[in-house]
Amino acid sequence: MSEEHTFESRSSSSWQLPAIIVLGLIAIGGLAFGWNASSKLDSTQQAVATQLKTTQQSVQQDMSSLKDRLAQDEKANADLQGDLKVVTGKLKITQGQLKKAREEAAKLNDATSQKLTALDTSVHSELATKATNDDVKTVDTKVVGVKTDLDATREDLKMARSEMGTLIARNHDEIDQLRRLGERDYVEFTVTGKNKPQKVGNVTVELKGVNEKRNQFSLAMTVEDKRFEKKNRALNEPIFFYTSGTHIPEEIVINKTAKDTISGYVSIPKANSQVAASTTKSGK
């Protein structure tokens, strides 16, 4: 019994030690695997957190850029609406002036017909009531005078009219005819040489180029410190512009070109001259 018990004890101790070692190795391997998995999990969490932060920053930048673009678009839209309002207002003024010019032209034609009718009636009446040679000579003198006035009126009507209804002079003689009407002031000028600004009335004119073959020209205008260019314009084509405090446009007409030279006139409404004079007095 004693020997058997001793054998069993030895036998039992002989397999327990390896088992304990194996279990220890397994435990160590489990701990190593758990530590490795924990490390990978931490790295993965950090990478995900970094990527999420980068994505959030990118989204915030995109949102900020989108807000800036939206603000710019809203500002541009507001500017366009303001420009549209200004253009619409000027268009209404232009349409009213055009209507007025047409009415005045119609009245002028009616006045011419009335003068002819009155002349015919006056001649027949005077010839019927006065038969002496002196009376006939007097009537002839009146007829010649009225005919001269009518011829001048007809010449005025032969002139081209702008879209604003103003008469366009093609030379110095026609400018003198327009001066006699007394509705506008006319300042004639000649600019020789390119890029040489010249003050004419309320505007500074600067020649930029001349196309003699096509009878076209390009110039720069400065009106109240605002500069703008007009390119490839034709002869006798009016260029309209406004000055502060006025509702009637002034105009530039070029009716002659040569090499690096243009000649024409600036047409200024009497009403604009009065406004400028009153503004100067109030400024003093």
* Digit-coded pLDDT (tens) for 151-170: 555 455 567 787 777 889 99
Does one domain contain both 270 and 221?
Answer: yes
Asked whether the predicted pLDDT for residue 143 surpasses 60, the reply is: no
- Quick check: is 16 in a domain? no
Percent of the chain with pLDDT over 90: 30
- Quick check: is 58 in a domain? no
- Quick check: is 69 in a domain? no
Task: Read off the pLDDT of residues 255-272 as tens digits, 9 standing for 90 and up.
Answer: 999 999 999 999 999 876
Higher-confidence residue: 47 or 11?
47
Which domain covers residue 131, as residue numbers?
86-158
Mean pLDDT, the chain, rounded, equals: 77
In 130-171, alpha helices (H): 133-158
Does one domain contain both 249 and 189?
Answer: yes
- Quick check: is 201 in a domain? yes
CA nearest neighbour of 199 among 235, 224, 228, 168: 224
Does one domain contain both 190 and 259?
Answer: yes
The pLDDT of residue 126: 63
Task: Read off the pLDDT of residues 182-199 as tens digits, 9 standing for 90 and up.
Answer: 889 999 999 999 999 999
Among the candidates 143, 158, 173, a domain finishes at 158
- Quick check: is 251 in a domain? yes
Does one domain contain both 260 and 208?
Answer: yes
Report residue 221's pLDDT band, with 50, 70 and 90 as the boundaries.
very high
Among the candidates 158, 193, 218, a domain finishes at 158
Count of structural domains within the chain: 2
The pLDDT of residue 137: 55
Does one domain contain both 209 and 275?
Answer: yes
Asked whether the predicted pLDDT for residue 113 surpasses 80, the reply is: no
Percent of the chain with pLDDT over 70: 67
- Quick check: is 265 in a domain? yes
Does one domain contain both 151 and 95?
Answer: yes
Does one domain contain both 137 and 194?
Answer: no
Q: What is the largest CA-CA distance in the chain?
A: 191
Does one domain contain both 151 and 197?
Answer: no
| CA separation for the pair 135, 137 (Å, rounded) | 5
- Quick check: is 8 in a domain? no
The pLDDT of residue 236: 92
Does one domain contain both 98 and 145?
Answer: yes
Report residue 278's pLDDT band, with 50, 70 and 90 as the boundaries.
low
Does one domain contain both 131 and 222?
Answer: no
Strands lying side by side in the sheet with 226-234: 198-200, 203-211, 216-223, 226-234
Does one domain contain both 203 and 251?
Answer: yes
- Quick check: is 17 in a domain? no
| CA separation for the pair 254, 189 (Å, rounded) | 9
This prediction's pTM: 0.45
Does one domain contain both 266 and 211?
Answer: yes
Find all residues with CB under 8 Å of 268, minimum gap 6, and list them: 184, 185, 186, 187, 201, 202, 250
